[in-house]
């Protein structure tokens, strides 16, 4: 069965770029334009991996990631961050949210800084999904 | 209504991150989400004869805004805030109103390019139109004086009340901010026409009644743990509100705006605009409740 990757990014150009690479790797690509939209898609489609931007309208990747990783039914879904926001910021923000009373969440599978070369993205996907 | 989410509209010329930082004490009330908005004016990337749509310029401006916002967002994320961004091409007013509706923002923050008047805001009437069209309060942010310090506006506001529905909405809005407001001053400007009478007693009774009303309002704030002081003045509203703000060293002026059509709206609109025109302070403009808007 073809593995599914959900691309979460508010920029349609970035989504197009990512979905093209994903499909060229032989996976099926899904799209969401913010964290809220992504959560709905994740529940419906149960992707194998989420390629996640951080800074988006409505709901950021930080809150989406937290919701995903604290939901027992969804927390096994792997996440690769693809963002201009630094990895250490992502980790510190999760730590801050944990300190404000939230549950601790694990680190994402992988982090890629925007912009990413198609070869780098393809290699990362294959490493994780096989 | 709590201020959980603010829409921070910046063109990078007039409103910088220090302005936002001065608002972050709203976190002690309820603030948890900041949404940045940058509108790339259509004229900058519009079709030009012989050039066409300047896509490259649009990309350049978008990425420039993105660099600023990533830097600001990193600071906010690390403090536990939720952050969102809109970088859009178009006309300022509809884009801001649209983003506020999409995000269900509780407050819109707009900047003033220069001190000294609404006429300097963006392109003239744009800001006034945002205020008129907004369903949520609008904060017209001003840097205090030439020192360009970003004082926390909610620390010591002056509420100007005309007892109308918008003023009542402003009271309800401010009463939720007890954790942030250090002291509130409340001013009512009595119309000189109300003081016409044959006897000093009648005029004094008007003063006494208005004073009692103000004191009752202050009591409401005090019951929420916000120290409050009443000021009753008579004369031209905008002038006196600005003077009272100076007298009590207010950090912000809060005023209501009615959405009613006709003379009443013009008068009220005139007052808030005149206040914003005359003061160097940040101004918070609270709309009347939605029910009244439909009338």
pLDDT tens-digit map of A33-59: 999 999 999 999 999 999 999 999 999
Asked if residues B250 and B278 have their Cβ atoms less than 8 Å apart, the reply is no
**What pLDDT shows up at residue B51?**
66
Sorted by where each begins, the domain ranges of chain B are 1-148, 151-295
Asked if residues B23 and B124 have their Cβ atoms less than 8 Å apart, the reply is no
A87/B contact by beta carbon, under 8 A: no
Asked if residues A110 and A103 have their Cβ atoms less than 8 Å apart, the reply is no
Using the beta-carbon criterion (under 8 Å), do B84 and A58 form an inter-chain contact? yes
Q: How wide is the angle at C-alpha B118 spanned by C-alphas B268 and B173, nearest 5°? A: 55
- Give mean pLDDT, residues B171-196: 91
Look-up of token digits 């003077």: B243
* Same-fold call for B1-148 versus B151-295: yes
A81/B contact by beta carbon, under 8 A: no
* Length in residues, chain B: 295
Closest-CA residue to B140 (of B169, B118, B110): B110
Q: Which residues in chain B are closer than 8 Å to A92, comparing Cβ atoms?
A: 77-78
Q: CA-nearest residue of chain B to A115?
A: B63
Give CA–CA dist B156/B286, Å, rounded: 17
Q: CA-nearest residue of chain A to B62?
A: A11
**What pLDDT shows up at residue B144?**
61
When scoring A13, A38, A84 by the number of chain B Cβ atoms within 10 A, the one with the most, hence best to mutate, is: A84
Q: Give the model confidence (pLDDT) of B99-117 as tens digits.
A: 999 999 999 999 865 444 4
- CATH superfamily, region B1-148: HUPs (3.40.50.620)
Using the beta-carbon criterion (under 8 Å), do B69 and A93 form an inter-chain contact? no
Q: Which residues in chain B are closer than 8 Å to A17, comparing Cβ atoms?
A: none
How are the residues of chain A apportioned to helix, strand and coil, as percentages rounded to the nearest 5? 45, 20, 35
Q: Which residues in chain A are closer than 8 Å to B63, comparing Cβ atoms?
A: none
Q: Rg for chain B (alpha carbons), in Å? A: 20
Q: Give the model confidence (pLDDT) of B52-92 as tens digits.
A: 777 888 889 999 999 999 999 999 999 999 999 999 999 99
Using the beta-carbon criterion (under 8 Å), do A96 and B85 form an inter-chain contact? no
**Which residues between 7 and 66 in chain A have a beta carbon less than 8 angstroms from any beta carbon of chain B?**
10, 54-60, 62-63
Which residues pair with residue B90 across a beta bridge?
B41
CATH number assigned to the domain comprising residue A81: 3.40.50.2300
The two tokens of residue B40 are 């790339």
Instruction: Please give the residue range of the domain that contains residue A67.
Output: 4-129
| pLDDT tier at B295, thresholds 50, 70, 90 | very low
Within 13 A of B277's CA, how many CA atoms are on the CB side? 13
The answer, yes or no, to whether ipTM is higher than 0.85 is yes
Q: Which residues in chain B are closer than 8 Å to A59, comparing Cβ atoms?
A: 82, 84
Using the beta-carbon criterion (under 8 Å), do B83 and A84 form an inter-chain contact? no
Taking the model in full, what pTM does it have?
0.90
The two tokens of residue A94 are 């999760």
- CATH superfamily, region B151-295: HUPs (3.40.50.620)
Using the beta-carbon criterion (under 8 Å), do A55 and B35 form an inter-chain contact? no
| Count of domains forming chain A | 1
| pLDDT tier at B125, thresholds 50, 70, 90 | confident
Collapse the DSSP code of A33 into the 3-class scheme (helix H, G, I; strand E, B; otherwise coil) and give the result: coil
* Closest by Cβ to A55, choosing from B78, B80, B83: B83
**What pLDDT shows up at residue A68?**
97
Using the beta-carbon criterion (under 8 Å), do A62 and B77 form an inter-chain contact? yes
Name the percent of chain B lying above pLDDT 70. 84
């Amino acid at each position: 069965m073809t593995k599914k990757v959900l691309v979460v990014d508010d920029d349609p150009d970035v989504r197009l770029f990512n979905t093209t690479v994903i499909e060229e790797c032989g996976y099926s690509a899904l799209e969401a334009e913010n964290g809220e939209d992504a959560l709905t898609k994740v529940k419906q489609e149960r992707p194998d991996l989420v390629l996640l931007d951080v800074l988006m309208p409505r709901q950021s990747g930080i809150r989406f990631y937290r919701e995903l990783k604290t939901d027992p039914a969804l927390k096994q879904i792997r996440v690769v961050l693809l963002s201009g926001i630094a990895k250490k910021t992502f980790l510190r923000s999760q730590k801050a949210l944990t300190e404000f009373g939230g549950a601790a969440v694990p680190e994402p599978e992988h982090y890629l800084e925007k912009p990413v070369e198609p070869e780098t993205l393809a290699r990362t996907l294959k490493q994780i999904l096989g | 209504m709590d201020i959980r989410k603010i829409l921070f509209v910046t063109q990078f010329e007039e409103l910088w991150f220090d302005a936002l930082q001065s608002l972050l004490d709203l976190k002690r009330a309820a603030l948890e989400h900041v949404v940045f908005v940058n509108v790339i004016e259509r004229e900058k990337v519009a079709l030009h004869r012989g050039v066409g749509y300047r896509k490259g310029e649009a990309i350049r401006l978008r990425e420039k805004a993105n660099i600023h916002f990533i830097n600001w967002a990193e600071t906010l994320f690390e403090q536990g805030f939720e952050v969102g961004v809109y970088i859009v091409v178009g006309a300022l007013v509809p884009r801001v109103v649209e983003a506020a509706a999409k995000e269900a923002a509780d407050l819109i923050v707009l900047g003033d390019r220069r001190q000294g008047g609404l006429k300097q805001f963006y392109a003239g009437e744009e800001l006034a139109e945002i205020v008129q069209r907004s369903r949520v309060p609008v904060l017209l942010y001003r840097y205090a004086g030439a020192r360009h310090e970003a004082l926390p506006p909610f620390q010591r506001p002056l509420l100007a009340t005309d007892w109308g529905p918008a003023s009542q909405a402003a009271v309800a809005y401010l009463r939720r901010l007890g954790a942030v407001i250090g002291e509130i001053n409340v001013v009512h400007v009595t119309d000189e026409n109300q003081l016409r009478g044959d006897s000093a007693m009648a005029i004094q009774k008007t003063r006494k009644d208005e004073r009692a009303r103000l004191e009752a309002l202050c009591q409401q704030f005090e019951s929420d743990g916000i120290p409050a002081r009443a000021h009753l003045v008579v004369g031209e509203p905008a002038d006196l509100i600005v003077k009272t703000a100076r007298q009590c060293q207010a950090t912000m002026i809060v005023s209501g705006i009615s959405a009613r059509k006709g003379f009443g709206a013009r008068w009220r609109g005139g007052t808030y605009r005149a206040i914003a025109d005359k003061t160097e302070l940040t101004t918070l403009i609270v709309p009347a409740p939605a029910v009244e808007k439909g009338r």
